[in-house]
Amino acid sequence: MTRVITSTSPQKPSDVVLESPALTAPEVAQAVLRARAAQKAWSENAMARAAALRGCAEGLRARSAEMAALITREVGKPIVEAKGEVARAIAILDYNAQAAIDPIGTVIPPTTPGYLMAVREPYGVAGLADVISFTGSSEVGSQIVAQAAKCGKPVQAEMGGQNPAIILPDADLALTVAHLSNASMSFAGQKCTATSRIIIVGDDSRYKEVTEALVAGVEKLAPNDPATEGVLVGPVISDSARTDVESAAKGAVARGGKVLTGGAPVDRDGWFYSPTLIADLGPEDPFNQEETFGPIAGVIRAKSVGDAIDSANAVRFGLTGSVHGRDLEATIRVAQSLRTGMVKVNAPTAGLDFHAPV
């Protein structure tokens, strides 16, 4: 019996977006073999590769509104972000269409008589495991890295994050709150680069000022139908995902955490959860150590910049982070102390340039 993959809309679980037969292992193997057979001729025709990528970009551009609406329907991504995702995909295709015909060799002056040239060659068909690219949880990613190492295969993995944002005493509060509210809660917090921990440097008065502003900023992001223009927070992807968020919040409260705002599912059809901020837990608490994929973030006090850096670096993740302050030189110094792959200065933790080196 053929297994069927069913995809339903998280904002309306009764809406079946797609039903598709799942391929069997032999069918996947045959597809990989056909791709491998075609690869040699394909690798030698840069103009054809560029034309194919441009064609993909043109087709996506012509149906961009339809594609954005489908993304919103299937995964609950706010329509404004879905439109941005499609536009970004088009830009990536256009960029790589040009890259396909860029020079791939570099002539290097030799130290001995002769001719020296370095040529960059792409990896082969992914299904034959020339290289492995993975996006997902740290647990599964670690297993893939370990298995690939046994076979001598390179891996590029983008796994989980528990991303810190440090708010320095001189930060522009209005700008910072706007950045962090969106970075932590938009797309219901379902981004590997979402802000997970907001670390406030300063005395009690400053802490109170910042937390009140954060609560006000987050409460403006009321969950609603993601197909509605202006909505930034829709549902989480599934019932089980919402249960995970709810369990994380309840566990945090049981250990002494204080819910500043949110902290409960939204009473409506779909897998909605109210944007949530939880304070009064130390950086070592499980809530501030483990990733929760949803609209929820921790607020942490720091008496000094040094304490803030220690808190930011006190997790096993190292994906991204941000630092916010008016003194740019001092802010950059703090940013350079974070042990993360990407660091933003006076900007949200989420988002990156696709042409930047990784």
CB 232 within 8 A of CB 78: yes
- Given this model, what pLDDT does residue 161 score? 84
d(CA 213, CA 171): 13
Q: Which residues have a Cβ under 8 Å from the Cβ of 205 and sit 6 or more positions away?
A: none
Kindly give the residue spans of alpha helices, DSSP state H, lying in 44-113.
46-62, 64-75, 79-99
Regions of the chain where pLDDT drops below 50: 125-127
CB 350 within 8 A of CB 179: no
Of the residues 56, 74, 85, 158, only one is catalytic, namely 158
CB 173 within 8 A of CB 210: yes
CA-derived radius of gyration, the chain: 23
Q: Could you say which DSSP state residue 226 is in?
A: T
Beta bridge partners of 198: 165, 299
Of the residues 81, 192, 246, 291, only one is catalytic, namely 192
- Given this model, what pLDDT does residue 54 score? 96
As a CATH number, domain 163-345 is 3.40.309.10
What's phi and psi for 84, nearest 5 deg?
A: -65, -35
- Please give the distance of CA 37 from its chain centroid, rounded to a whole number: 34
CB 183 within 8 A of CB 351: no
The one-letter amino acid at 3? R
Between helix 173-185 and helix 204-219 the angle, nearest 10°, is 50
pTM of the full structure: 0.85
Q: Which of 203, 192, 195, 161 is nearest to 178 (CA)?
A: 195
Task: Please give the structure tokens belonging to residue 307.
Answer: 């304490």
In a 13 Å sphere around the CA of 120, the CA atoms on its Cβ side amount to 8
- Given this model, what pLDDT does residue 123 score? 59
56 is catalytic: no
Beta bridge partners of 47: none
What's phi and psi for 4, nearest 5 deg?
A: -115, 135
H or E element in which residue 343 lies = strand 342-345
d(CA 221, CA 228): 13
Beta bridge partners of 4: 21
Architecture field, domain 4-102: 3-Layer(aba) Sandwich (3.40)
Tell me the C-alpha to C-alpha distance, in Å, between residue 241 and each of 4, 5, 147, 195: 22, 19, 28, 18
Beta bridge partners of 298: 197, 278
What ranges do the domains of the chain cover?
4-102, 163-345
Task: Please give the structure tokens belonging to residue 239.
Answer: 């019932």
CA angle 230, 234, 240 (to 5 degrees): 175
